[in-house]
């Protein structure tokens, strides 16, 4: 269970900040243990009308600051002023344990988004261990991190009406259930961790029984794989972290929960040859410590059960917030991110 509420307070004027035309406030829960430089998500459709009245048409005047006067790097995703929707990711600089105060403002003097590689721009909204991030699960092929692991899409998406659904936090999700189920996935190879440590995360809505990978890293020549599999069967839904490499294949599986059609947070953590975990919704965990060596990983594959284009079917469901990290994210880190999926509980009401 997550800890006591921390309060995010946003005021109109703060030390060192520009004079702004709008600011909003909300309260949030806190992590169970101290986290450093976490990336926080905001579903902007929940922000009040006063904020949208002051926001520029392209969101170019939006900034995030701490109450103490430190500007924070941010990434504005799928911003649409016509529908008052958008997805904001920003990195809080420093330790988060108890109370934290930040401000989301509209600066009347700023007219353009900061450059993606600038101090406050897109790339710095994520710490150095984010290797790839596809907010809507792959339909938009662009990785948001500095690694630029942009996907090459194969048969994806199908049609806009079929491919995109409403994501749980206001972003769209990719529907991998197209007619051509053998040729529907994305892949990238610009920068891939060669082996562990690694954390793989995907938020998935499973709409039918399936045991296909959502996201994984592979040796393009074959033989070695490290992959996250959201499983659904008659017995329930669970997260699985799969190793395929030298010696026996091994996997860690979380406990089962009842079958439903909700979006769930699936995570796999690979520490080394004998330590792997699978977590469902940040708090349902399973582990495996049997030896299995994986190395030589060179390719990311999303929405498919194999690195080969025509060897297996696509994920049977909808996916958003797909991520790869080249570090072991703690149980508390994963639980904190999973809690962000329910924005009304995580932030409360925006004022």
**Is residue 273 situated within a structural domain?**
yes
Which one of 76, 92, 126 terminates a domain?
126
| Residue 54, in any domain of the structure | yes
What is the pLDDT at residue 20?
A: 62
Q: CA 147, 204, 272, 37: dihedral to nearest 10 degrees?
A: 50
Q: Of 126, 143, 177, at which residue does a domain stop?
A: 126
- Which pLDDT score, from 0 to 100, does residue 307 have? 61
In a domain, 344, yes or no: no
Kindly report, residue by residue over 305-329, the tens digit of the pLDDT. 766 555 567 888 889 999 999 999 9
- 194 and 65 part of one domain: no
Determine, yes or no, domain membership for 143: yes
SS3 assignment, position 269: strand
pLDDT of residue 169: 82
pLDDT value at residue 165: 55
Q: Measured between alpha carbons, how far is 295 from 274 in angstroms, rounded to an integer?
A: 14
Residues 6+ apart with CB under 8 A from 121: 73, 75, 113, 114, 115
At 160 the pLDDT is: 38
Domain region containing 184 = 130-326
Concatenate the DSSP letters of all residues of 181-229 into one string: TTS-EEEE-SS--SSSSEEEEEEEEE-S-B---SEEEE-TTSS-EEEEE
Q: Which pLDDT value is given to residue 148?
A: 96
Q: Note whether 157 and 187 are same-domain residues.
A: yes
Tokens representing 57 are: 């048409």
**Structural domain contains residue 62:** yes
Has residue 345 been placed in a domain? no
On whether residue 120 sits in a domain, the answer given is yes
Give the separation between CA 70 and CA 79, rounded to whole angstroms. 24
In three-state secondary structure terms, 285 is strand
Is residue 232 a part of any domain in this protein?
Answer: yes
Largest Cα–Cα separation, the chain: 62
Residue 199 and residue 97 share a domain: no
Same domain, 169 and 264: yes
Same domain, 95 and 80: yes
Measured CA to CA, the distance from residue 100 to residue 95 in angstroms comes to: 9
Single pTM value for the model: 0.91
- The residue from 107, 126, 145 where one domain ends is 126
97 and 184 inside one domain: no
Rounded to whole angstroms, how far apart are CA atoms 89 and 233?
34
Question: 104 and 135, same structural domain?
Answer: no
**Do both 222 and 299 map to the same domain?**
yes
Tens of pLDDT, residue by residue over 161-180, are 344 456 678 788 888 875 45
My answer on whether 217 and 302 are in the same domain is yes
Residues 159 and 113 in one domain: no
- Same domain assignment for residues 135 and 261: yes
- Please name the residues in contact with 160: beta carbons below 8 A apart, sequence gap of 6 or more: none
What CATH number has the domain bearing residue 256?
2.60.120.200
pLDDT of residue 337: 96
How buried is residue 307: exposed, middle or buried, by Cβ count under 10 Å (0-12/13-18/19+)?
Answer: buried
* pLDDT-flagged residues of the chain (< 50): 1-15, 158-164, 179
Number of domains in the chain: 2
Do 300 and 318 sit in the same domain of this protein? yes
């Amino acid at each position: 269970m997550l800890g006591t509420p921390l309060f995010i307070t946003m005021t109109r004027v703060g030390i060192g900040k520009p004079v702004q035309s709008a600011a909003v406030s909300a309260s949030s829960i806190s992590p169970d243990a101290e986290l450093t430089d976490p990336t926080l998500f905001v579903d902007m459709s929940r922000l009040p009308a006063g904020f949208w009245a002051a926001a520029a048409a392209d969101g170019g005047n939006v900034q995030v600051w701490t109450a103490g006067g430190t500007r924070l790097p941010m990434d504005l995703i799928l911003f649409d002023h016509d529908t008052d929707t958008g997805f904001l990711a920003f990195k809080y600089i420093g330790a988060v344990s108890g109370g934290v105060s930040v401000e989301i403002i509209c600066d009347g003097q700023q007219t353009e988004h900061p450059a993606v590689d600038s101090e406050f721009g897109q790339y710095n909204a994520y710490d150095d261990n984010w290797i790839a991030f596809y907010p809507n699960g792959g339909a938009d092929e662009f990785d948001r991190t500095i690694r630029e692991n942009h996907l090459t899409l194969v048969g994806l998406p199908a049609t806009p009406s079929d491919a995109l659904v409403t994501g749980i936090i206001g972003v769209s999700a990719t529907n991998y259930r197209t007619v051509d189920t053998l040729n529907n996935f994305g892949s990238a190879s610009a920068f891939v961790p060669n082996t562990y440590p690694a954390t793989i995360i995907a938020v998935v809505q499973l709409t039918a029984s399936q045991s296909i990978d959502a996201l994984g890293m592979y040796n393009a020549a074959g033989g070695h794989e490290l992959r996250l599999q959201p499983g659904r069967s008659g017995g329930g839904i669970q997260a699985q972290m799969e190793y395929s490499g030298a010696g026996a294949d091994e996997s860690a599986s979380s406990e089962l929960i009842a079958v439903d059609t909700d979006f769930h947070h699936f995570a796999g953590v690979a520490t080394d040859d004998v330590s792997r975990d699978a977590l469902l919704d940040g708090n349902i965990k399973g582990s495996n410590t049997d030896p299995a060596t994986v190395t030589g990983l060179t390719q990311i594959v999303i929405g498919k059960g194999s690195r080969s284009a025509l060897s297996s079917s696509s994920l049977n469901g909808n996916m958003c917030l797909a991520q790869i990290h080249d570090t072991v994210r703690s149980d508390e880190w994963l639980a904190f991110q999973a809690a962000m999926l329910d924005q009304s509980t995580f932030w409360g009401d925006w004022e």
